[in-house]
Structure 1
């Protein structure tokens, strides 16, 4: 529990979870003994994480000497997040490609310069060439990184309209 909790867990919270899961009583002293064994185990140099007592509870954290590498990883992860506008634009490109910017803007109803530039920076889309239309606008397609990001091997694996049908995707009984 300590390992997966995003906040410090008190011994009482740990006790309640164990008793509910195992259907048997456990004392807070026993929990404290077990936590102390784990604290000593992870104090070893071969582990990059530790259990700390914080805010009247225990939390599993990366050791401070590894904070720089952790920050880099978290930064890379946050760079992977996409805004709603980016997701909308990306889905239009994915389903309608090859497509030019004016067609994307016509579908979305707003200017897409910034969003397209961000998607290009993230290498999720690429420029395939120039259209023969007036002004020779750029043609956009999705990239291999797009496939990797969404865990697909080809565009045929993209969800179809039928995948989003109301009946198949209902959760629970709405009549209640």
Structure 2
């Protein structure tokens, strides 16, 4: 198979599967090694971006998924009936931020940072599959450890947690906003 045919097959696989598809699975299907697939995927991502295609390849850890370009949202929105999708409350966003930067973390540590209970926020984040239980702490009561999910990465356009902005950069931005007010 030549490079063009391989890319065409990968695009068809991503389109058909819908959910993120791991590089190892693509490699197995195409009978290639994982490194070859990763290189081809990098090329495809660059080509899709360079050609300003209507869809893009989203990389999440070691998986790939087709998605629409965010800049086309206003056009795509015209196709669908408006849904009542609620955003996250400030409490849920604060809780999610703490979990993202401090994971794995237990609920009592989140509450100590926020200064208030976070049961409802954690429940909301679990329902939306932005966080998950990732284990239990080995101490009295064996409290649940929480961490973010791949849905969290996808929702915030991140490939990995290392792509989160540095916390000190966020604090500087917050200080600047407070000074302007």
Please, what TM-score do these two structures have when normalized by structure 1? 0.51
Report what 2:119 is aligned to: 113
Q: Using the alignment, how far apart are the partners of 1:100 and 1:149 within structure 2?
A: 23
Report what 2:144 is aligned to: 138
Report what 1:154 is aligned to: 160
Q: Using the alignment, how far apart are the partners of 2:108 and 2:125 within structure 1?
A: 16
> What's the CA shift for 1:166?
4.1
Partner-residue secondary structure (3-state), 1:134: coil
> What's the CA shift for 1:129?
1.3
Q: Using the alignment, how far apart are the partners of 2:171 and 2:128 within structure 1?
A: 31
Q: How many equivalent residue pairs?
A: 101
Report what 2:97 is aligned to: 91
Q: Does 1:70 align with 2:81?
A: yes
> What's the CA shift for 1:165?
6.0
Larger helix percent: 2
RMSD between superposed Cα atoms in Å: 2.5
> What's the CA shift for 1:146?
0.3
Alpha-carbon displacement from aligned partner over 1:4-27 (angstroms, at most 9, x marks no partner) = xxxxxxxxxxxxxxxxxxxxxxxx
Structure 1 segments (4+ residues) deviating >2 Å: 161-167
Change (3 A) 1:113 1:170: closer
Larger radius of gyration: 1
Alpha-carbon displacement from aligned partner over 1:94-137 (angstroms, at most 9, x marks no partner) = 00000000000000011111110110000000000111121011
Change (3 A) 1:107 1:165: closer
Partner-residue secondary structure (3-state), 2:81: helix
